Amino acid sequence: MSTHARQHKFVDSKVQGRLVGLFVRCWAMSLVTAGILTVLGWMFITPGLGGFIGPNEFMSSILPMVLVGAVASLLVMPFMLWKMVCDTNRFAGPLLRFRRHLREAADSGELVPIEFRDEDDWHDLANAFNDLVSRINSERLADTMSPEFREQLDRSIADSIHPQSEAELSDEHSDELVVGA
């Protein structure tokens, strides 16, 4: 796994930009909704629509509260946007790296494993890709080997997977001792 941090947080303008736009639209909609609900709440507290018509204290008392809420949310919004961009970087960054990796493989024909940072998402995607790379590279290597070498390699692998038991090894040694006597 790659352990160094990304230098840029806004790495995929298409994906992260769409999410930032969605966040801003949701923020604006929640601000409008909060304003409307505040006004409707005051309408039920004060005597109906009469509080909105003509000079009265209702509008002068509610308007500052709505403005304070809007200013407060505007002050918090940059932090929330930055936090969202940093968090989306955990899935947008690996996908950007994966896309570049695939393009490099398509251009060069060389398949190499990919690594994502420890804090990134999509490790299962990287592992599946690395398994595919390993299999394709093994098949490519097997295609370039002579049949004799491949047979010898297969026997060597089979022997390492299924080693002889101690009884079989001691029988071989006893045969050698009998032969040597």
Residues ≥6 apart with Cβ < 8 Å to 89? 6, 9, 10, 11, 16
Can you give the pLDDT at residue 15? 76
Q: Could you read off the pLDDT of 60-91 as tens digits, one per residue?
A: 666 777 777 778 888 888 888 888 888 888 88
- Can you tell me the distance from the alpha carbon of 11 to that of 9, in angstroms, rounded to the nearest whole number? 6
How far apart, in Å, are the Cα atoms of 162 and each of 148, 156, 159, 177?
21, 10, 5, 25
User: Residue 141's pLDDT band (boundaries 50, 70, 90)?
Assistant: confident
Tens of pLDDT, residue by residue over 95-137, are 888 999 999 999 998 889 999 888 888 888 899 999 988 888 8
Distances (CA, A) of 104 to 99, 100, 109, 111, 141: 9, 6, 8, 9, 20
What is the reported pTM?
0.49
What is the band of 51 on the pLDDT scale with cuts at 50, 70, 90? low
Q: What is the pLDDT of residue 25?
A: 87
